[in-house]
Structure 1
Amino acid sequence: MIGLLFSRGAEGIPPPDPVDFATLALPATPNTCLLTPTTAPGAGHLHHDPFPVSPDAAFAAIRGVAAAQPRTFPLADWPDRRQAQWVARSRLMNFPDIIVAECAPSGGGTGLWLYSRSLMGRSDFGVNRARVLDWLRAFEDRLRRG
């Protein structure tokens, strides 16, 4: 784990697999945050109604949000699933967090699954929840601007 702190970008992070949100079991630790569509089954911390755009437009928008984030680096991309993952590094200690986004048809629109989780430690002092809410606001802004 100590090697993760001295790595840069996505370096040192094990290659991920796509996340299956239908079967995702959230950890008991308080260092994660999952946003799901209100129409999707399963547990999430936050929920949002589906967006009135195509899955491709939503995926392009969330990728744009990720690209604009400081200290955030591409980790993996599955365009056929409209799912991507990034590593965000904290400013002070270089702690890595993983962010996963997926855009898929849901409830007559497009659902956004946005999952942010710490790789180290038990508590994140609300960082992952704040990140999900920030990305959601930026995502909605990008959709409004077209």
Structure 2
Amino acid sequence: MDQPEKFPNSEHSEASFAEQVQKLHRLTVYGRWLFVACLWFTIAPISIWDLREEIALWRQYFTWVAVRYGLFYHPFATLGLAFCIGMTVAVLVWQSRNIVFGLTPQHKQRLEKQVFKIRQQGSSHPLWKWICQ
């Protein structure tokens, strides 16, 4: 098991640790957006396909009653689209909050613990090459 690098200069080690925490946060953001993209490429097309007849009707005579009827009588399609939209909005709000206010102390501490575990486990950890190299 590889040991994390030991630097004689503690400032360099702290700077390296902070950079690794940032890398892990960046990977978390990418992972969340990848999950949202997978939802939109898998669940959303199936849901829209289930609503294809209603969509044709909406294109001819669009009314909110028709939309309500179509969504009400196709609950799985509605649930699928609602899940895609909900996850997208959740990731947008989460990322916007992190950009505007910064990371919460609890989230930053959780990331630091994860980086410490990754460094402790060494190159056998799946995220080692993404975080520590």
Normalized against structure 2, the TM-score is what? 0.26
Greater relative CO (CA pairs within 8 A, separation 6+): 2
The structure carrying a bigger strand percent of its residues is 1
Normalized against structure 1, the TM-score is what? 0.24
